[in-house]
C-alpha cells in the first residue's frame, strides 16, 4: 500500500514564534468560536488551548491559579475595567483639548 508523504518528515514539528502565538490567542479571544479561529490559522484547537494555558500560567504564576474559575473571572473583570478606563481617559483628553482650542463641546 502506498502512503502519501508531505515534504516534512514525521519526526519534525513545526515551530511557531511567540508573535504568531500571541496573534493566534488574540484572534481566538476576539472570535466567537475558538475552533474556527484555530482552523483559520492552520493549527489544531488543542495546540491553541495549550498556548492559552501556558499564557495563563505565565500571567497567574501557577497552573492551579490559572485553572481556578474565580481567578479567571477576576482577570477578565480586571481586563474589562482597564479597557473602560482607557476609553474614559481618551474621552477626557478629547473634551479637555476641545475646551482649550475653543471648540464647542457636545
pLDDT band at 66 (very low <50, low <70, confident <90, very high): low
Cβ neighbours, 10 Å, residue 60:
16
Between 1 and 105, residue with greater pLDDT: 105
Between 56 and 106, residue with greater pLDDT: 56
Phi, psi of 15 (to 5 degrees): -110, 135
* pTM > 0.75: yes or no: no
Residues 6+ apart with CB under 8 A from 56: 66, 67, 72
End-to-end CA distance of the chain: give it in Å, rounded.
75
In the chain, the largest separation of any two C-alpha atoms, in whole Å, equals 81
Cβ neighbours, 10 Å, residue 46:
9
Tell me the domain boundaries of the chain.
16-67, 77-106
Tens digit of pLDDT for each residue in 68-100?
788 778 888 999 999 999 999 998 888 887 777
Tens digit of pLDDT for each residue in 26-50?
877 777 677 787 888 888 888 888 8
Cβ neighbours, 10 Å, residue 45:
15
Amino acid at each position: 500500500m502506498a502512503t502519501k508523504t508531505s515534504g516534512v518528515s514525521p519526526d519534525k514539528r513545526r515551530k511557531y514564534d511567540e508573535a504568531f502565538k500571541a496573534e493566534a490567542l488574540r484572534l481566538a479571544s476576539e472570535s466567537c468560536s475558538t475552533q474556527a479561529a484555530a482552523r483559520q490559522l492552520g493549527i489544531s484547537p488543542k495546540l491553541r488551548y495549550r498556548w492559552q494555558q501556558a499564557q495563563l500560567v505565565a500571567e497567574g504564576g501557577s497552573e492551579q491559579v490559572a485553572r481556578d474559575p474565580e481567578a479567571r473571572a477576576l482577570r477578565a473583570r480586571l481586563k474589562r475595567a482597564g479597557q473602560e478606563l482607557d476609553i474614559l481617559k481618551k474621552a477626557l483628553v478629547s473634551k479637555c483639548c476641545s475646551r482649550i482650542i475653543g471648540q464647542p463641546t457636545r
